[in-house]
Amino acid sequence: MNTFARYVQIWCSHCSLVDNLTLKSTVRILVRIVCFVILLLQKKIEIIKIICKFPNSKAPGRDNVNSKILKEISNYIVDPLVYIFDMSFTMGIVPDLPKIAKVVPIYKKVERNLPGNYRPISLLSICDKILEKPMYRGLFNFLEQNSILYEYHFGFRKNHSTVQAIMEVLDNIYEHRDNHEVTMGIYIELRNRAYFKNFFGLHK
């Protein structure tokens, strides 16, 4: 309640209406403040829930801050995180430092002294992963609600799977076969970013 009263005082003094506030304008201000406080609390709760869901074994990024440490200090860092994330969403800018990854070679097979037998993985800061989750949820909900995603896009979507994709392909094949039509499929696997650039002609 003390925090709420402080917000009311700050808001009223900012509007220079302390002495002559009408009942209607007072109600409007209080509603705005209540909505602001509720939204702020929701954001804090969401961030803390995201942090708590990370496994303690999750590998940290180049800052070497692991999820166990973040869980211990979550109540102390949630306010600055909410502020930074809000600024990022509002300005459309992701801070540079969290985007710098720590690259770790993971052994795949056969001889360990050959570089080709290792697979590089990029470890980003866990704080960056916290930022990704509300960003992903908001963007994905917008795409779903406005029917922007292609109907037959099955990858990385809830209630969509590779099994459904295969069934859709088979249905198309059987339908054309029943109509005595020729069916043909072209499948391309792009394993390397360099191949991807060459294939689509994406050169600097």
| Co-location of 129 and 44 in the same domain | no
| Co-location of 193 and 112 in the same domain | no
CB 40 within 8 Å of CB 70? no
Q: Is the per-residue pLDDT at 108 higher than 50? A: yes
CB 101 within 8 Å of CB 62? yes
Q: Is the per-residue pLDDT at 21 higher than 60? A: no
Residue 63 DSSP code:
T
DSSP alpha helix (H) spans, the chain: 2-15, 23-53, 67-72, 74-91, 126-145, 162-178, 193-200
- Pairwise pLDDT comparison (8 vs 187), residue with the higher score: 187
Give the residue among 66, 74, 27 at the shortest CA–CA distance from 49: 74
The mean pLDDT of the chain is 76
Both tokens of residue 120?
């590089």
Name the percent of the chain lying above pLDDT 70.
Answer: 72
Q: Is the per-residue pLDDT at 25 higher than 70? A: no
CB 160 within 8 Å of CB 153? yes
Q: Is the per-residue pLDDT at 146 higher than 70? A: yes
CB 62 within 8 Å of CB 125? yes
Give the residue among 92, 83, 106 at the shortest CA–CA distance from 139: 92
Q: Is the per-residue pLDDT at 5 higher than 60? A: no
Domain that residue 111 falls in: 54-149
CB 63 within 8 Å of CB 101? no
pLDDT bin (cut points 50, 70, 90) of residue 188 is confident
Q: Is the per-residue pLDDT at 196 higher than 70? A: no
What distance in Å separates the CA atoms of residue 182 and residue 84, rounded to the nearest whole number?
Answer: 56
Q: How far is CA 186 from CA 33, 169, 183, in A?
A: 57, 12, 10
| Co-location of 37 and 77 in the same domain | no
Number of domain units in the chain: 3
Q: What is the pLDDT of residues 91-102, one digit of tens each?
A: 888 878 878 888
| Co-location of 16 and 35 in the same domain | yes
| Co-location of 91 and 136 in the same domain | yes
The reported pTM is 0.59
| Co-location of 145 and 195 in the same domain | no
